[in-house]
Amino acid sequence: MKNLRERVLRGEGTVGCFLNLGSSLTAEIVGRSGFDWVVIDLEHGAGSEGDVLHQLQALEHTDAAAIVRVESHERQRFHRVLDVGAHGIMVPRVNNAEDARSAVAAMRYQPGGERGVARMNRACGFGTTFDSYVAAADSSLLTVLQIETKLSLDNIDSIAAIDGVDVLFIGPVDLSRDLGIFGQFDHSLFLDAVRITAQAAQRAGKQAGIIIDGPANLSKYRDLGYRFVACSSDGSLLNSAARNLADSLKSRKSQIAEPHGRLG
């Protein structure tokens, strides 16, 4: 199992990218590009749980750890992706300590949690590595909780205090909307929320995380206390590259125009 949680807990800065196309090919491309981790997005992405396996297989021989953002808080959603080999889970819209405690319980086997036990799955080597996987899982799997509402902020210290919570991860778009300042990421209310989250994470010995809109903002959020930082997605990268190339080619179409306007 890749050592992302160990790196996070010792305070190392890491960078990641979202995967929202549900494609094993783009997962492999992004995984091989040098990111520390990726997030396979089942909340807003195009893929389903059935696509996660193929993306995990594509990522297996890259350096990127694979986190899956589940689409709901149901325990079964956690089990499904953990059993096929996810290295961590990102949980959307965690509003209070009860939500946080439930998420941690779904990540851990008894007696510390309520994760179901199965031998014949990919995470356990289809039975061959069951004992070693179960022994290491609770300490190796990363739990990332998203802070996306005013209610989350009101309960931020109690969320951060739950044992087993590793990262408090701001969802900027949802949080800004809930604060009534949609998309205004330089607004004082949003920046206050960013500081409050980072301070709560620091007090509890956890990391603060966020997705940013470009590398130029990395130092800004580093100074605010963020060490677990995502940027872009496979869909966004492909869209941007395709549009930039098309615009560049269209601006030069005169170079391939037939001198008299027609062929023949």
Contact assessment for residue 225 and residue 170, using Cβ atoms and an 8 Å cutoff:
no
In the chain, the domains with their CATH numbers are: 4-256 (3.20.20.60)
Token code pair at residue 28: 């492999």
Note the pLDDT of residue 91.
98
Contacts (Cβ under 8 Å, ≥6 apart) of 10: none
Model pLDDT for residues 106-142, shown as the tens digit of each residue: 999 999 999 999 999 999 999 999 999 999 999 999 9
- Rounded to the nearest 10°, the torsion over CA 214, 149, 9, 210 is 0
Note the pLDDT of residue 254.
86
Count of Cβ atoms closer than 10 Å to residue 200 Cβ = 21
The Cα 93–Cα 71 span in angstroms is 10
Spell 91-129 as b/e; 16+ CB within 10 A means b: bbbbbbbebbbbbbbbbbeeeebbbeeeeebebbeeeee
* DSSP three-state, residue 143: strand
Examine the residue annotation and report whether 73 is marked as an active-site residue of this protein: no
Contact assessment for residue 19 and residue 6, using Cβ atoms and an 8 Å cutoff:
no
Note the pLDDT of residue 122.
97
Contact assessment for residue 107 and residue 68, using Cβ atoms and an 8 Å cutoff:
no
Contacts (Cβ under 8 Å, ≥6 apart) of 48: 22, 42
DSSP string, 10-36: TT--EEEEEE-S--HHHHHHHHTTT-S
pTM of the shown model? 0.95
Note the pLDDT of residue 159.
98
Note the pLDDT of residue 257.
80
Indicate which residue of 44, 54, 61, 260 is catalytic: 44
For the chain, residues with pLDDT lower than 70 are 1, 259-264
